[in-house]
Amino acid sequence: MRQRNPRNPLSSSVFLYTVLTLLAIFLIVWTFITNNKQEYYTKTEYLLGTYVTVRVNGDNTSPVLLANAAFKEIKRIDKKFGNNNGIIGELNSSAGEWVEIDQETAFLLKSAIDVAKNTGGAFDPTLYPIIRLWGFDDINAEKRVPSSDEIEEALMSIGYENIELSPEGKRVRLLNGAQIDLSGIAKGYAVDMAIKKIKSIDESATGFIDAGGDIGIIGPKFGSRPWVIGIRHPRSEDADKVIDYVYMYDGAIATSGDYERFFEVDGVRYHHIFDPETGYPADNGVISSTVIHKSAMLADAYATAAFVLGDSPGVTFFPRFGALAFLVKKDLTVFKNAGFEVYLNK
């Protein structure tokens, strides 16, 4: 008969159970710790005339701190470049005099002028008089269809060539009574800057910022997976209905739609994206335009331009400027720049 070794106080099965139990406890604790690390913090605030959501996490910093830093930066930009506030208000009442500007203002104005040039003026940062005439300068302003005389008159001061930046970028002057509205580019700029702020605090941060459809990626989900972004169906009552999905690891995507801000008179929809040539809401067959670009600022501005331009020839030259467009047309057919489809697959 075999006998147990009397020198071993633990029977081998007790030893085995102890090891297994410790291993199980370790696994549970480990899973808890790593899961916690991967959990995203999400915060939404009403800024820049829309709901802004920051979804973020970082290895080295509290995500709450990162989100708060992002919101602080967005608030700063909203105050500085929002409609007729801050420096824009000062410029709009400068009556053709030179106005001193800082580097940031010069950068944003120059970027807006570049997009205007690249899109043959479809994006135009001097549309303020037209936008105010229709009542789209303020959510509380009365919206109405102006007379054609009023539109003709307002159009006289419109044109990005009326923004004169001094060569060293320290001063600007508005010619021909021009007035500025940066709403078509400032939201995207705010997203870029907020991401920059987050990254300066914690380089490992990942997540995204969504400012009313202008989305910038901070970094891939859990460091390796794409963020799945739905392009809203432009003719569904259900705001969650999606026409297609894109998968993004980095960069930015912006959508402009005629469903975002509009009013109706006698069954006609008048929306907030204007054709700088006519002074009327753009009517080139597009009801929603989405643009992917490395920069959220440029995605924003090119998306506005894409809405005005349409697809023939319209946005066909966009890839030259690093922009890829996805247009939904009135009949709900879609036009995409070659290359956009890369983002439609995981």
Contact positions toward ligand ADP, by CB under 6 A?
123-125, 127, 131, 136, 181, 183-184, 212-213, 256, 260, 272-274, 276, 300, 303-304, 308
Residue 284 touching Mg ion (CB under 5 A): no
CB of 83 to Mg ion, least distance (A): 14
Stretch that binds Mg ion, among 102-110, 132-140, 273-281, 301-309 (CB under 5 A): 301-309
Residue 111 or residue 256: which is nearer to Mg ion going by CB? 256
Distance CA 213, CA 211 (A): 6
Partner from ligand ADP, Mg ion, none contacting 124, C-beta within 5 to 8 A by type: ligand ADP
Residue 304 touching Mg ion (CB under 5 A) = yes
Q: Is 21 annotated as a binding residue?
A: no
Pair of tokens at residue 95: 């009556």
What is the per-residue burial (b if ≥16 Cβ within 10 Å, else e) of 267-289?
Answer: eeebbbbbbbeebebbebbbbbb
300 belongs to the binding site for Mg ion (CB under 5 A) = yes
Closer to ligand ADP by CB, 91 or 131: give it. Answer: 131
- Residue 300 marked ligand-binding: yes
- Tokens (6 digits) for 54: 């920051």
Q: Are 314 and 320 in contact (CB under 8 A)?
A: no
Minimum CB distance to ligand ADP smaller for 179 or for 256:
256
73, HSE (Cβ side, Cα atoms, 13 Å): 25
Q: How far apart are CA 321 and CA 340, in angstroms?
A: 14
Chosen from Mg ion, ligand ADP, none, partner binding at 296 (C-beta under 5 to 8 Å by type):
none
Q: Please give the Cα distance from 247 to 345 (Å, whole number).
A: 7
Which of the stretches 11-19, 98-106, 142-150, 182-190 binds Mg ion when contact is defined by CB under 5 A?
Answer: 182-190
Please say which residue, 78 or 124, places its beta carbon nearer to ligand ADP: 124
C-alpha 105/C-alpha 94 separation (Å) is 15
DSSP state of 316: G
Minimum CB distance to Mg ion, residue 218 (Å): 20
Q: Scanning the structure block, which residue is given the tokens 């989100």?
A: 67
| 103-118 vs 63-81: helix crossing angle, rounded to 10 | 80
- The number of residues that bind Mg ion (CB under 5 A) is 5
Beta bridge partners of 55: 42, 208
**Residue with nearest beta carbon to ligand ADP:** 184
Q: CB of residue 276 vs ligand ADP: minimum separation in angstroms? A: 5
Binding residues (CB under 5 A) for Mg ion: these are: 184, 256, 300, 303-304
